[in-house]
Structure formats: C-alpha cells, structure tokens
Structure 1
C-alpha cells in the first residue's frame, strides 16, 4: 500500500455501493500521527498509482443533510388519500 511508505496505517475504510456492493472508487485511510498524514498527503496528492491519478486530502466532517421531501426521486406528491405514489 502506498500510504505505508509514509508511516503506520491504523485503519482503512473502502465504502461500497449499497445496491451493487462494489467499491465506490475512494477510501478513507487513517494514519497513526498527524505528521504521517501530512507527509502522505503531500507526497501522494496528484501522484499516479496503478495507472490512476490520486486525489489525496484530509477528510472533512460529513455535512448535515436536510430531510428529503417525497423521498422517491424528489417527487413531492403525498401518499395520503387517493392512492398513487407506488410504482
């Protein structure tokens, strides 16, 4: 793993698509110290690895999402009374 060259990798998460189970094309890598994280980011951001250009940066906290309205593809019709809404 490319990150191990810059320190101790303490954890790796590979998010997968809920429907297909396939990797989503990115990963979260945690290193044992801030200095190791910085060194890995500086060395690997923009580098080529296995034929692909890497984008390496510090993860940001997840943003709060507002509750969706209607749920299915932004459809705002209500399911109350009169049926409808199921496909």
Structure 2
C-alpha cells in the first residue's frame, strides 16, 4: 500500500520518516519529494508498505502525530493522472 504523507517540516529526513513507519511493519520505500530548483523538501512524501494491514494501522496511528513541530497528515496515495497543458 502506498501512503501519501503531507505537512512535513523541511528538516524531516527519509530516515526519520522510515523509522516512524517501521514501528508498524515493513517499509519497502520512503521518498520525500524535493523541489528541483531549491533542493529543499516540498513538505510531502510517499511511504510504501507491502502489507496492507500494517499500512492501515500506521496510517490510523500516525495521522495527526506531531513530527518536529507539525502534525502530519497521512492518506492512501492516489494514482497520478496526466496533467493537461493549457
């Protein structure tokens, strides 16, 4: 299950995030999305957990948790759609 984690502080690292989720089960990948121009965090990440039950428990338990001064938000990631150029 792929989780979308938002409202991250810029100082949160992939290791910090992975550690939080590993407490609930196996984490296959953890990727904080970075701004191409500045190289800083855009404030969101994707965490993939192979076991749906573990991912759902992590989502339930960690949603709203204070992480480095901000409450994080966790939802199931949606498939990316092609963007229309106007």
> TM-score by structure 2 length?
0.72
Higher strand share: 2
Query: Any unmatched runs of 5+ in structure 2?
Result: 1-18
Aligned residues: 68
- Please give the root-mean-square deviation of Cα atoms over the aligned residues, in Å: 1.1
> TM-score by structure 1 length?
0.72
Higher helix share: 2
3-state secondary structure, aligned to 2:53: helix
3-state secondary structure, aligned to 1:14: strand
Higher relative contact order (CA 8 A, sep 6+): 2
Matches of 1:60 and 1:12, distance apart in 2: 16
Query: Any unmatched runs of 5+ in structure 1?
Result: 69-87
Matches of 1:51 and 1:66, distance apart in 2: 36
The structure whose Rg is larger is 1
